[in-house]
Structure 1
Amino acid sequence: MNKQKLAVHESLDLHEVINFKTLCLAKSKLMQGLVFDQDLKRLMQQDVEHSIQALAELQSIYERAYFQASVPQNRPTPIIDGKEGTIH
């Protein structure tokens, strides 16, 4: 099947959505450490899992973008409590 490229404005919009969703994902993941209510923490974890799935779907659509920025394979290491850590 021949996949059509997205129009320029669609590519830009999709790029903005991916950036916004990535920012929301990072915020939800990092804010979990500040939450003490277990129900809220569980809800935030569900949001993280759904966001990861949504980003995977958006990235597959991004392959059809008019232009593309490379998706880095190595992500920066977050610093948590003054020490380098990992986001799981």
Structure 2
Amino acid sequence: MRRIDAILIALGFFLTGGIIYVAFKVLGLDAADAGIWSQVILVLGLIGWVSTYVIRVFTNDMTYHKQVKDYDDAFFAKQLEKMTPEEIEKLMSDKQ
């Protein structure tokens, strides 16, 4: 992630909090309650976002794992192309 991406994400969260705060003020909450509820919504959103990351970590659904699997698949396919039909037959009989 580039530095500008991190800055834009932080700015997006800041603006989202402000919009939620103003929406609560328009709905009739006083400043303290609007601030508290906008913070609650932002914290719950952040917890939800982090939980998706944790789930991807534990299910090995990360970009790195996908790249390693794609590399391994391509490597073994290339090795299989180099083998003669006799070598493939021998490999298949050894596997069983």
Q: TM-score, normalised by structure 2?
A: 0.33
TM value normalised by structure 1:
0.35
Give the structure, 1 or 2, with the largest relative contact order (CA under 8 Å, sep 6 or more): 1
Larger Rg: 2
| Higher share in strand | 1
